[in-house]
C-alpha cells in the first residue's frame, strides 16, 4: 500500500465549565469524551489531530482548564486553532508549548507531519463572530507556502471562506475570502482548505481546491436553507473528518472520510472461510 498520512479533524468543541450544558441542553464534555474514545480506538491510528476552533464556549480560564482535563486521555498529538468563541490569550496560556508562528496576536502554526505540511490559520477576530485573516497572517501564509514548494500542504482555519446557504452562518463566514484565494492561486501545493464553524459536514471547491467543513461530536447548526426558522441547533449523528493523504505523482492525493462516532454493529466479513459470499 502507498505511504499514507492520516490527519483527523475535530471541531467546535464548545467546552463549558464542568457540570454546565451548552445552551442549557448539550453536554459538550460528554460529546468530546466520546469523540476522544473514537480517535483513540481508530486503527490505524491517525498521525495527528487538528481541532478547528471553538474549543471553549464563553470563553473563560475555567473552560480551558476543563478542556485540558478532557483532552488528557487523547493518545494522539494535536493542535488547536481559535474560533470566534475562543480567546487567543487564554488559548495561548492553556497550550503554551504549541509552535505558534508569532509571539503574540494570531495563533498561526506550521506543523510538519512526514511529507505533509499543515498550516493552521487563526481567522478569529477578537470580539466578533465573523472571520478575517489579518495582514500579518496572510503574509505569513504566502511566505510559508513559498518556502518549500515541493511539499503538499493542508490549510486549516475556523471560518469557511464560502457561502453554505445557511443565512445566519453565512453572514459570519470568512469576510476576506478573496485575499485567501489570491494567495492559494500562487501555491498549487495546497491540497485542501479544511474549516469548522458551521458544525456540519460540507464540501465545495474554493480557489480550485476542495474545501470542507468538519462535522461535530455535539450539536449541528440546523440545516435551514431558506431562512425558515430562527438560528437553531439540532443534535445530529456525531462524526469527525479523517483527511487521508496518499503519496504519489506530484503532490499525491487526498481523500476525506467522514467517521461516525459511536458503537455500531460490525465489522462483519463479507466472505466465509471458503471465499464464498456469506
Ligand atoms: Fe462553533
Q: Report CA(40)–ligand 1 centroid distance (Å).
A: 23
**Is residue 97 pLDDT above 70, yes or no?**
yes
Q: Report CA(199)–ligand 1 centroid distance (Å).
A: 6
**What is each CA distance from 219 to 55, 194, 237, in whole angstroms?**
14, 19, 9
Q: Report CA(217)–ligand 1 centroid distance (Å).
A: 11
Give the CA angle between residues 200, 203, 209 to the nearest 5°. Answer: 140
| Average pLDDT rounded to a whole number, residues 242-265 | 97
Q: Report CA(14)–ligand 1 centroid distance (Å).
A: 6
Q: Report CA(197)–ligand 1 centroid distance (Å).
A: 5
Q: Report CA(162)–ligand 1 centroid distance (Å).
A: 16
Share of the chain above pLDDT 70, in %: 99
| Tens digits of residue pLDDT in 61-71 | 999 999 999 99
Cross-strand partners of 254:
245
Grid cell, residue 97, equals 508549548
| Tens digits of residue pLDDT in 103-131 | 999 999 999 999 999 999 999 999 999 99
| Tens digits of residue pLDDT in 163-197 | 999 999 999 999 999 999 999 999 999 999 999 99
**Is residue 1 pLDDT above 50, yes or no?**
no
Q: Report CA(31)–ligand 1 centroid distance (Å).
A: 14
Q: Report CA(249)–ligand 1 centroid distance (Å).
A: 37
| Tens digits of residue pLDDT in 3-49 | 899 999 999 999 999 999 999 999 999 999 999 999 999 999 999 99
Amino acid at each position: 500500500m502507498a505511504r499514507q498520512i492520516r490527519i483527523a479533524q475535530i471541531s467546535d468543541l464548545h467546552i463549558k465549565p464542568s457540570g454546565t450544558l451548552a445552551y442549557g441542553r448539550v453536554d459538550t464534555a460528554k460529546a468530546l469524551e466520546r469523540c476522544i474514545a473514537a480517535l483513540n480506538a481508530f486503527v490505524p491510528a491517525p498521525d495527528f489531530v487538528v481541532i478547528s476552533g471553538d474549543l471553549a464556549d464563553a470563553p473563560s480560564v475555567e473552560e480551558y482548564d476543563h478542556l485540558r482535563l478532557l483532552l488528557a486521555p487523547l493518545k494522539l498529538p494535536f493542535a488547536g486553532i481559535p474560533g470566534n468563541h475562543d480567546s487567543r490569550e487564554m488559548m495561548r496560556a492553556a497550550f503554551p508549548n504549541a509552535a505558534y508562528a508569532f509571539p503574540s496576536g494570531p495563533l498561526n502554526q506550521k506543523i510538519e507531519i512526514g511529507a505533509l505540511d499543515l498550516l493552521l490559520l487563526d481567522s478569529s477576530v477578537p470580539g466578533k463572530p465573523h472571520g478575517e485573516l489579518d495582514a500579518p497572517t496572510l503574509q505569513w501564509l504566502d511566505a510559508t507556502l513559498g518556502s518549500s514548494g515541493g511539499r503538499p500542504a493542508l490549510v486549516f482555519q475556523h471560518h469557511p471562506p464560502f457561502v453554505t446557504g445557511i443565512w445566519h452562518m453565512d453572514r459570519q463566514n470568512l469576510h476576506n475570502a478573496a485575499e485567501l484565494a489570491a494567495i492559494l492561486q500562487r501555491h498549487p501545493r495546497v491540497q485542501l482548505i479544511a474549516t469548522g464553524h458551521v458544525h456540519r459536514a460540507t464540501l465545495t471547491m474554493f480557489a480550485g481546491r476542495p474545501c470542507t467543513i468538519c462535522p461535530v461530536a455535539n450539536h449541528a447548526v440546523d440545516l435551514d436553507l431558506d431562512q425558515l426558522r430562527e438560528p437553531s441547533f439540532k443534535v445530529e449523528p456525531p462524526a469527525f473528518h479523517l483527511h487521508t493523504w496518499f503519496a504519489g505523482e506530484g503532490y499525491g492525493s487526498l481523500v476525506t472520510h467522514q467517521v461516525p462516532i459511536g458503537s455500531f454493529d460490525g465489522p462483519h466479513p463479507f466472505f466465509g472461510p471458503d471465499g464464498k459470499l456469506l
